Amino acid sequence: MLVLEKSGALRRLHFFNPVHLMKFVEVIQGEKTSEETAALLQVFATKLGKTTRAFKDSPLFLVNRVFTPGNLEAMRMFEAGVPAEDIEKAMTKFGMPMGPLALMDEVGLDICANVVHEMHSAVGERMAPGKLLDFIKANKCFGKKSGKGFYLYDKDGKRQGFNPELLAQVNQTPLKKKAEEIQDRIALAMVNEAALCMSEGVAADADDANLAMILGTGWAPFRGGPLRYADSLGSRTLLQKLELLYAATGNDNYKPAELIRELAASGKAFCR
């Protein structure tokens, strides 16, 4: 939803699918939008029964931006031969309401692909989509709504096991990884992106970013959101984990945000 002010400034309300079930709305603030407009939009969303938080305008806004690198890492591991069931089990054990592959099927893999391509255009090669998304698009494996995605679905939308079309596209030599490594690969990619958002002023408050991720994506609620989870690890441990992942993968999604380095040096935390 877009709102145009007299000044020509735009302000957005970002709803989440399915809209009637998801209780969170991002209020996106442009450089020239007024506080009056912000307040009116928050009141409007509240009257719809939604919880809101305001964030600075950024590619894909806050929630999708933070969630995308984690989804990409899940797809990259899947494509490299990490068994799909291992990825799913590791992340539900971590506290996610469902595995990342199942969640992408629920959202729609066509939508996920569009988000990845937009992020790729905005931030560069660290968000490169990979060949699997091309296959998904070409073969209309769009998830639950098309009857096939990472999983197959019956006419009632119930999962019927993993999709052999996609399984045929991955490394056929299984690549076994411990659950903790899978969890780090996915969760810490999101933690690092959340730290970048804090550095850029997309989120002014770490607790707001945490709430947005919990209500907007179901991010492991008992862990308090990605930045509260980062604090539970400790900034020095977080930095060490990211540096090890960056060295092992060469993936810039793990290149520690400068804010993380600063917190590690000072011993401070993201959250109050």
- Residues recognised as catalytic: 14
- The C-alpha atoms of residue 187 and residue 69 are separated, in whole angstroms, by 9
User: Half-sphere exposure of residue 172, counting CA atoms within 13 Å on the CB side?
Assistant: 4
In Å, what is the CA distance from 203 to each residue of 93, 185, 209, 225? 28, 23, 6, 14
Helices (H), 8-83: 35-47, 61-80
* Contacts of residue 232, Cβ cutoff 8 Å, sequence gap at least 6: 223, 224
Q: Maximum distance among all alpha carbons in the chain?
A: 60
- Give the residue carrying structure tokens 């810490």: 188
